[in-house]
Amino acid sequence: MHEFPGFASWVHIQLRKKKFVTTVAGRTIWLNPYSDQVARNALNAPVQGSAADMTKAALSAIHKNWKFDYPFACVGAIHDELVFDVPEGIAEEVAEFVKYHMIAEAEKMCPGIKFKADTKIGDSWAVKE
């Protein structure tokens, strides 16, 4: 809790919300006040929604700043994950470029909070652990 000193206060405020919550970008997410999940949703929706806002902003920045001699290659945006299909020869550089923009957009939306992004390169879109 010492890393995020305002977190306990935020949780207390969120748990009192019954109509709607907002993301860090200001997007409204409506709550169902009759649901037994309203408290859970009041805490989860701003976090998940803000992650979606950050991902959309990052995707826009990546598209605007695409610098590769290869067509824009995002083939999937799933929750907080972006999938790119690029030639093997530029995969590492694209991964670093995407990682930079994911972190930069998140830190722009939430100043003072440090973010990280993970990248994986593979020969298939299938998840391999």
Residue 126 lies in a domain: no
pLDDT for 79 equals 84
Residue 128 lies in a domain: no
The total number of structural domains in the chain stands at 1
Residue 127 lies in a domain: no
Residue 24 lies in a domain: yes
Residue 27 lies in a domain: yes
The SS3 of residue 83 is: strand
Residue 46 lies in a domain: yes
Residue 1 lies in a domain: no
pLDDT for 128 equals 63
What domain range is 33 assigned to?
A: 7-109
- What distances in angstroms separate CA 128 from CA 87, 88, 121, 124, 125, one per listed residue? 19, 18, 10, 9, 9
Residue 117 lies in a domain: no
pLDDT for 2 equals 64
User: Model pTM?
Assistant: 0.85
- Tens digits of pLDDT across the chain (129 residues): 566 778 888 888 999 999 999 999 999 999 999 999 999 999 999 999 999 999 999 999 999 999 999 999 999 998 889 999 999 999 999 999 999 999 999 999 999 889 999 999 988 877 666
